[in-house]
Each structure stands twice: as C-alpha cells, then as structure tokens.
Structure 1
C-alpha cells in the first residue's frame, strides 16, 4: 500500500505515469490488493475509466478501507514530520471508521481524479444511474451525489465569487455541462432526508455535520445557477423549473445552510407574485 500511495502522490495531479510504472502497479499484486491497485492506476491516468459503472459502483468495505489508508499515507508523505508509514497503516487498520467516512473518501478520490485527469470538464453526456452502483442505503447515494456536485461546483466558483462582477455567462456555460442523475437534470435529485452524521471533513476543523457542510455548498451552487438564469435573461420556465424542481423549495432542509433567509425571501417574493 505504501508504494501505491507514493504513485498516487506523484501522479494524481498533472504528472503522467509511464507505461512501465503502470505495468508495475498492476504486476505482482497480492490478490487482496488487485481491485485497489486497479483503481489507483485509473486515478493517476488521463482519459481514465473512472466514470464507468465498474468504478462508480460502491466497492466492498475492505477495498474502501485500503483506499482510505492509501490516501492517508499520501497525505503523510507530503509532511516534513512524518509518522512511520507502517505504524500509520497499523493504526488505521485498527481504527473503527464509519462506513460513510470510507464512502466519502472513495468518491472524493474518484471525482478529484476525474477533475485532475479528464480535461476539459464536460459531463453533459454523463447520466448517473444511482440504483446501479450497489449502494446500501440513501445515505450512501447522497454522499456520492454531494461529492460529485461539489466537484462540479468548483468549475463555476471562480466565475461567481472571484470575478467582479460575476461572469454569469461563463458560469452558465459550465452549468450546462453538469451531469444528469437518473435521466434527469442534476438539480432534480432531492433525496437528502437521510439521517445526518458527523465526521472530520476539513483537516484541522474537527468533527462537522455532513449535511451542514455539503448541503450548504450545494445550496450555493443552486443559487448561483438561479442567478445565472436571471442575469442571462433565461425563460421564466427555466427559472421555475429550477426553483420548484430542486431543493431550493425544501424548507425542511434550510437548517443546513447559511442561505436560509435568502431562500425564504425568494419564495416569499414568489408567493406575493
């Protein structure tokens, strides 16, 4: 696992592995690490197959834990004051990790690699069939969805938050490249009523509510989409489809976002109109 972690660190971003390195990753691999090594090989390769059903499907728990450990080693070997990697492996093997934390790690690794390696961004022809990926419950589906949309939202964040005034035209071009879920537009996925849980999401910030962290970011994406529709003079139908077809209208979820008052004011205006 240490060697896989080193390869992941060296090639997860812009650097491309040689054919010899890829061959080495896949050769002489213990049977229990084969699935994990196949994932790492894809994760460090451009134009990979990570969005195929075989990789989108939820791995077994032992594979999830192996990848969690590999990513932890990757973080460790980037530090000057490193923990001995073998001790780190032992401690994580014995650590009681929530399966949801492992699921979060897996899809974060997957979509990070899609973002780093599959350029330019365009998921407009991608349709995620959420019932085809061996998820065990709605929470696991929700984690995958929120991680995916967090990745997608990064493509518009700069245009909406850094550029002054916001470049809504460019942001909207990227929004049109967002994927579908279950044959529907991305925002029509609304299954977020799973029980909230806590984990360390951002290193050093301690334990956080998962839904408060990710739904807050997702609401920001939806509001950015709405602003783009308004600024780019899109049709009332398109605006209403977003407002009424997404969780923008789901007041029971507003407690998870700092945009609660904005959302309430939007629907108060529409009620008056």
Structure 2
C-alpha cells in the first residue's frame, strides 16, 4: 500500500513539475529540432537562442536536443547513451510529438497538445523507445560516414532498468544499422552485397561480443504506435522482424562475398536465427524453418 502511494505521489510530482515549465520555450525547442534534425546545421545564433532562458527542469532534455541537431555531438558517449530520468524522457517525448505535429497541415494546437501529453499516462517503454529512436536517428543523420566498428555498447552501464529496456536499446540501434545496408540490398539492381558487407563489418559489439550474439529477447511483448496510421502494433513483431532481416542479409552477404563456412555457421547457431520460439514475430518464418529443416 505504501509503495503504491509513493508511486502515485511520484507520478503526480512529475506531472506537476513538468506543468511549471515554460511552454513557449518547449515549443521553440521543438521547432528548432524540426528544422535541424536532418542535414541542416544550426548557426551560432540558433545555439545562443536554444540555450537562453532554459527552465532548470528542462535543461537535461534540451542538452539532448542540442546534441541531436549538430554534427559535433556526443551522442555515443555514456552520458547520452544512458537512460535519462522519467521526467526527462517524457519531456523529450513531448518535444518529438510537437515536432511531428508541426509537420501536419491540420495540426493540433501545440499548447493543447502539451497539456494533454503532460497529463497522459504514457507507458514507460514507449518513452524509452522514443528516446533511443531519436538518438540513433540523430546519429544516422549527423554522424557520417557510418562506422560503429570500434564501439562496444556495454548495456549494463546505461542505467537501463530491465531486459525490455535493454532490448529496446539494442533493437533501435540495430534498426539504424540495418538501414545502412538496406539500400544496397533492396534498391541496387542487382543487390550490391560488397557494399552491404562493408557496412556489416562496421557493426558494433554489445557487451564485448559480436552484435548477433545478443539474444535476450524473451521479455514480454507490448504494443504501441509505431508506423503512422496503423494503430498499435506489436513491438517485437515490428522490430524483431526488421532485425531478422538484418541477420538474413548478413548471411546472404557471407554467402556471396566468400565468407567462410565457420562464419556462416557461427551466425546461424550463435544468433536468434535458430530461435524457433521467436519466429512468430517475423515474416521470415518459412525461410528460417527451411534453413534449419531437420533431415528426415
């Protein structure tokens, strides 16, 4: 009972504190994020404006937004890879929601949007997903050329609270990594496995091991809005499916680019390619079952 009361009190204080922030500043930051989240680089005046009159309880969130709009960022340092506190996660979620709203012709009033989201009980995993989605999107937009080959993501160091949050971090990171080879495999005709394999070789390690050896995906699935206009979707159904595509692309590249039999076997048996219990989350179920078909 006491724990429940403290939890509710914490939620109330989060909403109350957020309600005291400067709404005008929040909208200003969101507009700047919209204008500079892709390739445009902010001027010195933009940085001066964004840092001016920042409410104390918005400082951490705005520091993150500053990193996402510049090429000279520290997004891949422990400071920003680490999970922010719950209040900051919600602030960043609202900034992104305003950004999306600003791209709509029939947009909602931003003040009303802030008020509704401020008082909404947004699931924590959705807030965590939004944060790492924005982080790795910014890395993709600002940190070129792609090269994670010297990066080892130590998930235990990032204040992630459970296997679900670690899974979100991993899947969001690998979703970005997968996008770096997608064009070579799906746009180029014929597929350019040489270029794709070059990027696969630049994938990061996780907890000191090759990326595909991360297999902790047996957390409970949950639903959230992922693709616009499709309503709530299975999180694992969406992101594990994309990750399976990345693994299969890796396998194809090994086959086409003269990878060794050992490399292919390590990928097949050391990754979730063999995890039949997870096949329900992917459209590649038939292909995977064929790969591991038992000899009769």
Describe the SS at the equivalent of 1:63: helix
Deviation at 1:28, TM superposition (A): 2.1
Post-superposition Cα deviations, 1:129-162, rounded to whole Å, max 9, x if no partner, equal 0000001110000011001100110011111112
State the partner residue of 2:149: 124
Identify unmatched segments of 5+ residues in structure 1: none
State the partner residue of 2:47: 22
Number of aligned positions between the proteins: 271
Hey, what's the Cα distance between the residues in 1 that align with 2:96 and 2:256?
41
State the partner residue of 2:4: none
1:166 aligns with 2:175: no
Deviation at 1:19, TM superposition (A): 1.8
State the partner residue of 1:87: 112
Hey, what's the Cα distance between the residues in 1 that align with 2:177 and 2:37?
18
Hey, what's the Cα distance between the residues in 2 that align with 1:171 and 1:151?
14
Which residue, out of 210, 232, 245, partners 1:207? 232
Post-superposition Cα deviations, 1:105-147, rounded to whole Å, max 9, x if no partner, equal 0000000000000011111111100000001110000011001
Hey, what's the Cα distance between the residues in 1 that align with 2:155 and 2:62?
25
State the partner residue of 2:216: 191
State the partner residue of 1:77: 102
Hey, what's the Cα distance between the residues in 2 that align with 1:47 and 1:216?
33
Hey, what's the Cα distance between the residues in 2 that align with 1:20 and 1:179?
35
Hey, what's the Cα distance between the residues in 2 that align with 1:85 and 1:75?
11
Describe the SS at the equivalent of 2:191: coil
Describe the SS at the equivalent of 2:292: helix
State the partner residue of 1:101: 126
Deviation at 1:179, TM superposition (A): 0.8
* Equivalence map 1:167-182=2 (5 Å): 167-182=192-207
Give the TM-score of the pair, scaled to structure 2: 0.90
1:256 aligns with 2:281: yes
Which residue, out of 1, 13, 37, partners 1:12? 37
Which residue, out of 77, 87, 94, partners 1:62? 87
Question: RMSD of the alignment, in Å?
Answer: 1.1
Runs of 4+ in 1 over 2 A off after TM superposition: none
Post-superposition Cα deviations, 1:176-201, rounded to whole Å, max 9, x if no partner, equal 11111011111111000000000111
Describe the SS at the equivalent of 1:13: coil
Which residue, out of 27, 41, 47, partners 1:2? 27
Post-superposition Cα deviations, 1:41-97, rounded to whole Å, max 9, x if no partner, equal 110000310010000000011101000100011111122222111000001111111
